[in-house]
Amino acid sequence: MTDIKSMNLSELTAYLVENGFEKFRAKQVLGWVKQDAADFDAMKNIPQKLRDFLKDNTYLACAEIVRIQRSKLDDTVKYLFRLYDGEYVEGVLMRYHHGRTICISSQVGCKMGCTFCATGKSGFSRSLTASEMIAQIRSAEIDCGERISNVVMMGMGEPFDNYDNVIRFLRLVSSEDSLCIGMRHITISTCGIVPRIRDFADLRLQCGLSVSLHAPHDEQRSRTMPVNRRYPITELMNAVRYYIDKTNRRVTFEYALIDGENDSDESAAALAQLLKGLLCHVNLIPVNSVTGAEYRKSSIKRQQAFVNILSSAGINATVRRSLGADIDAACGQLKRNYMKGDV
């Protein structure tokens, strides 16, 4: 079956013409897609022959909201989305002064196995299509009744492990045929898939790049991030420099502060040395509670000491405010395993 929501206008036109239909039908079909048509029978200005063809050969990808959790601490909302094949992903809607931001998933589960992340502990099923990523945004917009202006790909999955679909998503979601969310309002987070960082740099897209670093030394990073054994820090930093040189865009480094693991003065000094001279920002994240992991977040005093060391070395750093922690919607808390009674 063909996922027509992942096609742009020219691709859908070619597909329909190849199957004996008029060119202009593609624009009609996409018009219904933009109106959130739930099935092909709703497309009233489409001839029955074409509707029957679409029903037999294509499908309309969806992200059906089956559970909503609203934080009592802030204005954060966590959604459980059911996909067309019965798989589930989670997404998080946040409110900032500049508008609504949604954190979406790119895979059902994750292969990367980071020890502080619930998604990695819940296994991997499959990657999402471009249209399934867009569907998460659109479903959340319909629920909240507001336009979503910013997207972060920091939910379930490793975006660069689903590279082709993610690039297709970026091109689609920013187009007039879709949600018209400019690439400058989209950020992709990666744990450090080095070849894909270089490929991404070559595209020179205008979206943001965030790199999950979490340690300044290989031995330390490999304990919590298995990906480091394949792409150690030296290779990762070379790829980041290549990205900055190609795009002249600032990179954000995510750094989860774990008590007694990576939050010492020595770690801060080593991190400052590692990032010296780079066009970057460090986003410090007090590690969140994850079932099966015994990590504890660094104390407020230790967090501030870490920031001070980086700042004194000329490295821009801030501590991220944790949103939605009471509904397991904070960084690293999304998961793919659900009991039947959960939905």
Assess contact for 343 and 67: CB atoms under 8 A. yes
Q: What is the SS3 assignment for 277-331?
A: CCCEEEEEEECCCCCCCCCCECCHHHHHHHHHHHHHCCCCEEECCCCCHHHCCCC
> For the chain, how big is the Rg over CA atoms in Å?
21
Q: Which residues, 6+ apart, have CB-to-CB distance to 178 below 8 Å?
A: 34, 134, 172
Q: What are phi and psi of 209, to 5 degrees?
A: -125, 130
Assess contact for 273 and 233: CB atoms under 8 A. no
What is the C-alpha separation between 59 and 173, in angstroms, rounded?
Answer: 19
Active site residues: 90, 331
What is the C-alpha separation between 339 and 343, in angstroms, rounded?
Answer: 8
Angstrom CA distances, 297 to 37, 55, 57, 233, stand at 45, 51, 50, 23
Q: Which of 196, 281, 265, 276 is nearest to 236 (CA)?
A: 196
Beta strand segments in the chain, E: 2-3, 58-59, 64-70, 77-82, 88-96, 99-103, 107-109, 124-127, 148-153, 186-190, 208-212, 251-257, 280-286, 317-319
Q: With the C-alpha atoms ordered 205, 211, 140, 130, is the resulting torsion angle positive or negative?
A: positive
